[in-house]
Amino acid sequence: MDDGLKIISGSIYPELAEKIAQELNVELVSNESKRFANTEQYVRIGKSVRGDKVFIIQSMAERNGYNVDESVVETMLLIDAAKRASASEITVVLPYLAYGRQDRKARGREPISAAAIIRAFQSAGADRLVSIDMHTSQMQAVFNGPFDHLTAEPELQKALKKIISQNPNDQYVVVAPDAGGVKTAEDYALALGIPALHIPKVRRGDEITRDHAIEGVEGKTAIIIDDMVDTAGTLVSAAEVLQKAGTGKILVATTHGILSDPAIERLESSAIDKMIVTNSIDNKRAKEILGDRFEIVSIHGLIANAIARINDGGSVSEMFDGRNYK
């Protein structure tokens, strides 16, 4: 497959971009990326993209000597480079979209950072955005153009169904660790054919408190569902509540394993038996430390399918029967 399709990777996670390119049977276009002595970034696309549909792959995370903000700047420079090189269409694929949690004003004089980042990509020249399991899918409205919201739910549910089928005598319950995850937990419960419940939390500054009187989990395997895990404070506190309520095993399924310090340390000493994440962010270090307690599900095929449909003018929502816009 080529048809004027070009895949370009940012510096954060080129291994994922390489898998996507291989799935599409196209070459991953090389690009030069470096820093000047004063830390300013420089990029140059290594091949002509004149008249081509360009897909820039960049997970906005800390990796390979780049921090989150530097990943944003590099993405903008790649967009500008492709635009000035006469690409016919520029799509930015963001497996993980940083700043997504800053999607509203919670206090006076705060920015809506997610909106600022999305507008910056548009100003740089992006014609289309693609992301996966955004913290708030309504942020699509900020971008003046196509903004495809993919979901990793089918891949995560497939991994959970495999575990359930291997342990048919166990009883399971899906758990939402906070109010924001209730709808997602209910969707998982419906797909897996098991009940769902919600563990309320109260946040006071950096401290999270919960009601330990949770019913309906005794002796069961609890499956905690969340869109992302950052420092793992919310997740570990939920696991502690479940453990005190008498749950059997505790599983976790999440799309984005950000795992900022001290997340891995917290997970290592937690009551969580297994955590399933996608490779929207590289998590080799967590896998090395947590071993069999940590499973990585690849979403390169999902992204490649979406890119192929966009390139051919097909429907992305049909991949999910429209459930990516729920």
3-state secondary structure at position 56: strand
Closest alpha carbon to 101 in 116, 114, 120, 110: 114
Residue with tokens 């999305």: 118
**At residue 212, what are phi and psi to the nearest 5 degrees?**
-80, -5
Quote the CA–CA distance of 78 and 251 in Å, as a whole number. Answer: 39
Quote the CA–CA distance of 29 and 19 in Å, as a whole number. Answer: 13
Q: What is the residue-wise DSSP string for 173-203?
A: EEEESSGGGHHHHHHHHHHHT--EEE--EEE
The answer to whether the CB of 142 falls within 8 A of the CB of 312 is no
Helix (H) or strand (E) holding 24: helix 14-24
Residue 33, CB half-sphere, CA atoms under 13 Å: how many? 21
The answer to whether the CB of 169 falls within 8 A of the CB of 133 is no
Q: Calculate the CA 203 to chain-centre distance.
A: 24
Closest alpha carbon to 20 in 321, 311, 326, 322: 311
Q: What are 197's strand-pairing partners?
A: 175
Preceding omega of 262 cis (within 30 degrees of 0): yes
Single-letter residue type at 95: P
Count of other CB atoms within 10 angstroms of residue 159: 18
> Of 6, 19, 201, 244, which one is the catalytic site residue?
201
3-state secondary structure at position 169: coil
Q: Would you call 201 a catalytic residue per the annotation? A: yes
Residues with active-site annotation? 201
